[in-house]
Amino acid sequence: MTWLRRGSSEPLWKEEFPVRTADERYVTRRQLTKFLVLTSLGMFVGNIWILIRSIFYKAPIYGHQPVAQLGEIPVGGVKLFSYPSKDDHCILIRTAEDEYVGYSQKCTHLSCAVYYSQAENRLECPCHKGFFSIKDGAVLQGPPSRPLPRIVLEARGEQLVAIEVKG
């Protein structure tokens, strides 16, 4: 009855399908180079996409929106508001008796909400310790590489009106 026994200790399916796994997983120089060149093509396509977006970029039109009454918040105080849409949260800070600044509250790193640190006189992102200047929203420290978008404000009578987003 030796004809019923198999010749090796390998499972039957391995004998019938002798695929060499090591050879299957082997990456040749040509394959690796092809992969690298395809990645290079991907980078190029990405740049082309940015170029197309730049060509067809339309500057948004902002409406005028009252955000606070003059004197509503004390010096060093803040008020949160939304501009230009209700999903764009912003922060208004009264830095001096007659000086107000407004910035988008969304950190330019990973979109955490920034807050005003009165002790340090700067805007701080609690997530990754990104700090922004209160004067122009420039990055002082941390991972963000772009300044905070600034809300252009205008005093109209007793009202403070947001008219544009810059940056």
Partner 1 sequence: MPTSNDLPPQTRGLTAIAGAMSLIVILLIVQIWLLSAALESFLSGKLHTALPAAVFSGVMFLICLGLYAFVDRVDSEVRGSGNGR
* Site size for partner 1 (CB under 8 A): 27
The answer to the question of residue 152 lying near partner 1 (CB under 8 A) is: no
Q: What is the DSSP letter of 2?
A: G
Q: Kindly tell me which residue out of 1, 43, 61, 96 binds partner 1, with binding defined by CB under 8 A.
A: 43
Among 36, 110, 152, 155, binds partner 1 (CB under 8 A): 36
Q: Across-strand partners of 154?
A: 161
Question: What whole-number distance in Å separates Cα of residue 119 and Cα of residue 37?
Answer: 52
- Cβ proximity to partner 1: between 79 and 150 the closer is 150
Closer residue to partner 1, CB minimum distance, 40 or 159: 40
Does residue 28 interact with partner 1 by CB under 8 A?
yes
Q: Is the dihedral of CA 104, 105, 111, 116 positive or negative?
A: positive
48 binds partner 1 (CB under 8 A): yes
Note whether 67 and 162 are within 8 A (CB).
Answer: yes
3-state helix, strand, coil in the chain (%, to 5): 25, 35, 45
Sign (positive or negative) of CA dihedral 17, 21, 26, 31? positive
* Contact call for residue 40 and partner 1 (CB under 8 A): yes
Q: What phi and psi values does residue 107 have, to the nearest 5 degrees?
A: -60, 140
Which residue lies nearer to partner 1 by CB, 51 or 80? 51
Using CB under 8 A, list all residues that contact partner 1: 26, 28-30, 32-34, 36-37, 39-41, 43-44, 46-48, 50-51, 53-55, 57, 145-147, 167
